[in-house]
Structure formats: C-alpha cells, structure tokens
Homo-oligomer: A and B are copies of this chain.
Amino acid sequence: MGISEIREQIDSRREEYLRTLFTLLKQKSISAQNIGIDECCNMLKNFMETIGIKTRRIETEGNPILYGEIINDPDDFTLLIYGHYDVQPPEPVEEWNTPPFEPTIVDGKIYCRGAGDNKGQIMAQLLAVKSYLEVEGKLPINVKFVIEGEEESSSKNLAGFVEEYRDMLKADLVYTSDGPMHSSGTPIVLLGVRGILYVEITAKGADWDNHSGNKGNIVPNPAWELVQLLATMKDKDGHITIEGFWDNVRQPTKKEQELIKTLPLDTKQLAEQIGYKDFNMTAEEYYRKLTLEPTLNIAGFHSGYGGEGSKTIIPSKATAKIDMRLVVDMDPNEIFDKFTKHVKKYAPGVEVKRLGSMKPSKTPSDSKVVEVIGKAVGKSYNCKPVLQPCMGGSLPDYVWTQILAAPSVVVPYANYDEANHSPNENIGVDNFFNGIKCTCQVIQDLGAAFHR
C-alpha cells in the first residue's frame, strides 16, 4: 500500500466525492446574515463522524466551532487543520450565471457560493482523511480539525477559543487551505500574514457648512486640517514617518531575502489584474513590498461637496479611513498608541476611532516542517511550489503562531480565478481532487519525517 493506491482510490470515487461536496455546498451557511449556520454545522459534524473523526460541536458567543480529532498516540506528531464552514453572502445575486447555492459544473469548474472559500478546500482535506483511512486503515500522525463558523465575519471568537482550549488543540503544525494558488498556476506555500489596524480620523470645524466667500478665512476648514495632519505621516518619498512606527519591524532573514528573489511574477498579467498599466516593479521589489513592509493606506477621505460643478462651502467635517498593514513584530495596540500620539501632537482636535485590528504572524521559512510540506506539495503537484514568506492580506493566523505557539502554513487548493467573495465563485474540479491528493501526501510525508 502507499500514496499511489490512495490516489487511485480517490480517482475511483469522483462521482461520490463530488456528491458529498455538493450536499455541503447546497446547505447555506451565511454568517453575516445568520442563515443556515446551525444546519450546516450539524451536517458537517455528522459527516466527520461517519469517516471516523471524533467530533465536538463547541459553542461560542457567536457561531459554534467544530473540533475533530483522530489521535493514535498523544505523543506523536500532530497536524491541526484549520478551515471554516461559513460563507460570504451571495449578493449581488443577479450577477451570478447559475443559482448561487445550486452547485453547477461548467467547463470543468464547480460554481457555487463557498465552492472555493472554503467548503471545497475543507472538504478536500476531510475526504483525504477518509481515503487515507480506507486504504491504509490508519493515519501515520495525529490529525485535529478546527472548522469555525464566522471566518467571514472577522473570526470574532477564534482567539478566545484557542486560548480556552489550548491544551486540547496542542499541535506541531497548523495547516490551512484557503484562498487561491499562485497566479502562474503553481502551488504556493504561504508562511505568514500581515496584520492590520483600521482607524477612522475625524476633524470638525463649525457646526454646519459655511459660505466660503462670506465666511472664508474666518471659519476653520477640517478638510485642510486632515490634509495637513496626513501629510505629516509620510515624507515626500512615501516613507511612513509616524514616530516609532518602524521600531519593531523584524528584518527579513537571509533565507527570506533569498526566497524573495526566487518568486515568479508575470508583470503584464499583474498589471492587467490590478488595472494599472504603468505597473513596472521587479519581482523582488514587488514581493518585498507586499510581504515584508507595512503600509499606511487611505481607504477613504470624505469632506464637503462632491457633486457636479461647484459649490462654495467650507465643510463642517472631514473624515478619513486608514488601514495599516503590519508585519512581524509590529503590535496593533502599540501602533494604535503611536498613531494616536502622532495625531495628538500635530492635530490635537482630531478624533481617532479604532475600527478593528489583527496581529501579523510569521512561521520561519528554514524549519524542517516547512521543508517537508514544501516537498510534499511539490511531489503531489509534480511542480516545485512557490514558498512565500508572507501574504499581503490579513488572516487570524496569529492565534496559531502566537497563542498556540505552533508553526502555521497556508497551502491554497483553489484556482487563481476562484472569485471568492464575488459572484460566480468557483473551484476547478481538478483543483478539488488535487487538493484531496495533496492532503494525503502531506499526511504521508509528515508521518515519514516525524513519526515518533
């Protein structure tokens, strides 16, 4: 017996495995709208139990979390697989080509809300365990599952859950399959996420808009106040100048710097994808900025008149929404304090409101476990994966690397054009089955490398 028998078994079950996935996809589970959460959670729990995973439904202040485990020997290597059963709302429904909760295969892709994000990927992992058990009788490592129900609503209760169940969740590696593969079609192993701090700043002038002629230069203008405040936060080269902002930015390791140089980039494809034809960074510059540097982004700035033509007013209010992407070891609380201190210094009347935050997270690229995962993924896809030190976006990965203190890797199974969060979300049929096979290879290779 071995991986090739398992792969054959998977190929022989295509109809059955697709039906299993479709059953889960048809069950709505929209956390933002509180639709179908309970039903979906119970359906998934039942399925996990039928394949031999001991599963608990654990209540939180929000939606329940499913915890499952197959423990052969508590002292053996333990893989924790993380995913979510909730999905984004389907709106705008009129932009879907097929009904959003009716899984439909068109040109080799399964279209359905949740197909890629995340039901198709979590189901690939569960079916991998099922196939492995059917062929081999047992797994070579311990496997745990944490499948939450509010990832699409900021994972509000995940950190508390991990805190509370730290002992139960103890693992040697956390493994997530979410998001798309590399734009080149190559598999990718992501070793971290950027954190985020989201603030809103508001300047107020008079109690109402005033006439800019009859009241011009006697009433303060809050739009000017925000412009002048924001201008103190970056120098003319765009470098962030908030005092202490860069203090805890961890310098990339030599290995990371080398990794950055190996990452592929199709400049033209990216330029089209972002709608910016003048994009001309080198691959190295692109990945360095995206994965190793923080940002200070104006996501919105609104004040005064914005309609057609001219209106001569002094606005009474100006508001800017700012998000900062944070890299390790920046702490959102500390950055918030530094940001607030900066505002107090340059524009003491401006209000700062904190709208949300998430810590950055990183797993060292030079560990044995990352090497094993990289090789397993490469073997399964017959293609060397891209090893990226960090993703540009933010996920609650810190609950694993910081609260659970385990390394964490993200290995996406979905196609690059999965359209997650958008109409016509999909996952390639091949992506689904390759994901099942890749999970089996990972389990196999982790066992071979770490079985105690």
Residue numbers of A with Cβ under 8 A of B are 194, 196, 198, 200, 205-208, 210-221, 223-224, 227-228, 230-231, 234, 236, 238, 274-276, 279, 281, 286, 289-290, 293, 295, 297-306, 309-316, 318-321, 323, 325, 355-356, 391-394
- When distances are taken between beta carbons in the complex, the residues of chain B under 8 Å from A303 are 298, 300-302
- Inter-subunit contact B314/A297 (CB<8 Å): yes
Q: Which of A211, A297, A305, A392 has the most CB of B within 10 A?
A: A297
- Inter-subunit contact B290/A216 (CB<8 Å): yes
- Inter-subunit contact A227/B224 (CB<8 Å): no
Q: Which of B219, B236, B281, B392 contacts A228 (CB 8 A)?
A: B236
- Inter-subunit contact A311/B299 (CB<8 Å): yes
- Inter-subunit contact B295/A300 (CB<8 Å): no
- Inter-subunit contact A392/B216 (CB<8 Å): yes
* Smallest beta-carbon distance A56→chain B, Å: 33
8 residue pairs bridging A and B, Cβ less than 8 Å apart: A218-B286, A218-B289, A219-B274, A228-B236, A300-B304, A300-B311, A300-B315, A312-B323
Q: How far is the CA of A234 from the CA of B226 in the complex (A)?
A: 13
With contacts A290-B216, A313-B299, A394-B213 taken as known, whether A305 is within 8 angstroms of B276 at the C-beta atoms is no
- Inter-subunit contact B316/A321 (CB<8 Å): no
- Inter-subunit contact A299/B212 (CB<8 Å): yes
Assembly of this chain: how many copies? 2
- When distances are taken between beta carbons in the complex, the residues of chain B under 8 Å from A309 are 355
**Chain B minimum-CB-distance residue to A356:** B310
**Chain B minimum-CB-distance residue to A224:** B298
- Inter-subunit contact A219/B276 (CB<8 Å): yes
Q: Which of B196, B212, B217 contacts A289 (CB 8 A)?
A: B217
With contacts A218-B281, A227-B227, A304-B300 taken as known, whether A321 is within 8 angstroms of B325 at the C-beta atoms is no
Q: Which of A217, A221, A275, A318 has the most CB of B within 10 A?
A: A217
- When distances are taken between beta carbons in the complex, the residues of chain B under 8 Å from A196 are 213, 312
Q: Which of B219, B297, B315 contacts A299 (CB 8 A)?
A: B315
Q: How far is the CA of A221 from the CA of B392 in the complex (A)?
A: 16
**Chain B minimum-CB-distance residue to A288:** B217
What are the 8 A-B residue pairs with the smallest beta carbon separation, nearest first?
Answer: A213-B393, A207-B275, A231-B231, A300-B304, A300-B305, A206-B276, A223-B298, A302-B306
Q: Which of B194, B206, B323, B325 contacts A275 (CB 8 A)?
A: B206
